[in-house]
Amino acid sequence: MKKHNFSAGPSILPEEVLEKSAQAILDFDEGLSLIEISHRSKAFINVMENARSLAIELLGLQGKGYKALFVQGGANTQFLAVALNLLESRAGYLNTGTWSDKAIKEARMHQEVLEVASSKESNFNYIPKGYKIPSDLDYFHCTSNNTIFGTQMKEFPKLNIPLVCDMSSDIFSRSLDFSKFDLIYAGAQKNMGPAGTTLVIVKEDILGKVTRQIPSMMDYKVQISKDSMFNTPPVFAVYTSMLTLEWLKGLGGIEAIEKENFKKSRLMYSEIDLNPLFKGFAATADRSTMNATFSLTDDKLKDSFDGMCKDAGINGLNGHRSVGGYRASMYNALPLASVETLVEIMSELERKA
Ligand SMILES: *Cc1c(COP(=O)(O)O)cnc(C)c1O
């Protein structure tokens, strides 16, 4: 039975993407597998170029001075790469959870980091607001969606310094004015593809301003000049990401998927709010459309709820250990029907209790 996959990451991909990528493993180019051909072959260069231009197109950034890169090392490597490429004296970071915390730690190895605001004191269940960002910083860094805690930034500051954002878990999920951002990065494995590649969208004119030497693999200018092929790229991850971006474009792009994502999250949160057996973790105004965090009001119901989920083929609902309870991740590829199934089980639990 096909599972309802609520996993937080790596996570669900569209069925047709899985089928096409499986086929490419067997026969991609004249009888050769995708993973046994040269990354310098015409067939693969086309894949890389197509993936990069689809990313820019879907975000509405054509002709605005941005480059898209597919690099390796995950978002965790970007925590470091951002600082190496942009941090000359002092940067500001908004601390909204585990991933921001890690980004701060990596940047601090190089230069001064100002934590402009944090919601750590309440286990990151909300997004700080009304903070001041000094204008003499090298850049301001934030995390658009906090995968673990289920909070999501709904607004972003207007700045006269570069705005850098970790969008690993909500890229391509909602319409934003992406041209407000100077650098966006996202590990593929939440909303775009398999683990193994990370998308970086960078406005070229913010680069080349630091005095340090940057290791080649982490140097955005090097990666741009080599068209994301400074070293052998993760061909399978890039190809599968390209297929997902094509799938999204075919659906009508970000605006179309955003409507679906709203439907799913509205249904999910209304059940959490109306059903007395459940309570949400994140502050209502800051709730994520991607990751809904919630728990049972009575732990004694855990075994029966877990059993009902299992019987219905629901997978990946366990909360992260730092929050506990449950987390329903509703990435782009998750069908509305999966959320309907989960909500149905939650109300059935209420009827039986
Ligand atoms: C998953 C995640 C990361 C870590 O990504 P890796 O690719 O495993 O390094 C970073 N930031 C956010 C917001 C995430 O959801």
pLDDT in tens, 171-201: 999 999 999 999 999 999 999 999 999 999 9
Break the chain down into helix, strand, coil percent, rounded to 5: 40, 20, 40
Catalytic residue among 138, 166, 170, 286: 166
Catalytic, 190? Answer yes
> Can you tell me which atom of ligand 1 is nearest the CA of 143?
13
Question: What local confidence, expressed as pLDDT, does residue 353 receive?
Answer: 82
**Protein residue with its CA nearest to atom 12 in ligand 1:** 168
- The pocket around ligand 1, CB under 6 angstroms, is made up of 9, 74-76, 99, 143, 147, 166, 168-169, 187, 190
Which residue ranges form the domains of the chain, and what is each CATH number?
15-251 (3.40.640.10), 253-352 (3.90.1150.10)
> Is residue 93 within 8 Å of residue 100, measured between CB atoms?
yes
Catalytic residue among 67, 138, 170, 190: 190
Q: How far apart are the C-alpha atoms of 86 and 105, rounded to whole Å?
A: 15
Interval 37-66 mean pLDDT: 97
Q: How far apart are the C-alpha atoms of 185 and 20, rounded to whole Å?
A: 26
The continuous run of DSSP H or E covering 72 comes out as: none
pLDDT in tens, 214-238: 999 999 999 999 999 999 999 999 9
- What's the gap in Å between 311 CA and the centre of ligand 1? 30
The reply to whether the predicted model has a pTM over 0.85 is yes
pLDDT in tens, 140-175: 999 999 999 999 999 999 999 999 999 999 999 999
